[in-house]
Amino acid sequence: MASYTEYIGYFEDIATNHRAIRHSRSNKHFFRIDLEELIAGLKTKISYPCLVLESYDWRMTDHVSDNILKERNCAFMILMRPKNAGDYDEVSDLFNQAEVIVDDILALMWYHKHNKIHDIIADIDMNTIEVLPVNGFIENAVGYRVSFQTITGHNIALDENKWITTDF
């Protein structure tokens, strides 16, 4: 996987190019889970459906070899907002719409992985994808949270030029 900035850019491009989401600078349908950005989004009216991207975390794994792996845990949500929070038929329909968008995004990610179009998604482990329902995250929004893992080789070699001394 490439840099954190490229990770954000990839998912913002997804939100911009999916016909049901259509994110733009003037019509915000893409947010990161960042307190300041969410508060700003609430002030500027979040447009639905929206893609909310979570920051990734990672761990290093060493299987007693020279191959150190960096395993990143990534996630995003597709959220829809019902006009009437108590209208369960509408909520069910929004869950259906969100599921279609999630399926579209996963199909695009699979396409990018297998055609080596984006480094960001090249190392996704499709077996780690998990989709869970979300209800009432913000503004009574409903939808799905999609989590997945990318696994890449990691160069753990020491660059002594970055240290004043390594003998401490």
Mean pLDDT of 62-88: 89
Which residues span the domain enclosing 115? Answer: 4-155
* Edge-to-edge strand ranges of the sheet holding 142-154: 30-32, 50-62, 68-80, 142-154, 124-135
Quick: pLDDT tens for 31-50. Answer: 988 656 555 655 567 899 99
Q: How many residues does the chain have?
A: 168
| CATH number (domain holding residue 17) | 3.30.70
Please state the domain count of the chain: 1
Task: Supply the pTM of this predicted model.
Answer: 0.88
Residue 107 maps to a domain: yes
Q: What is the pLDDT of residue 40?
A: 62
Residue 45 maps to a domain: yes
Of 73, 30, 71, residue with least CA distance to 53:
30
CB 79 within 8 A of CB 98: yes
What is the C-alpha separation between 90 and 128, in angstroms, rounded?
30
Strand ranges inside 63-123, DSSP E: 68-80
Residue 160 maps to a domain: no
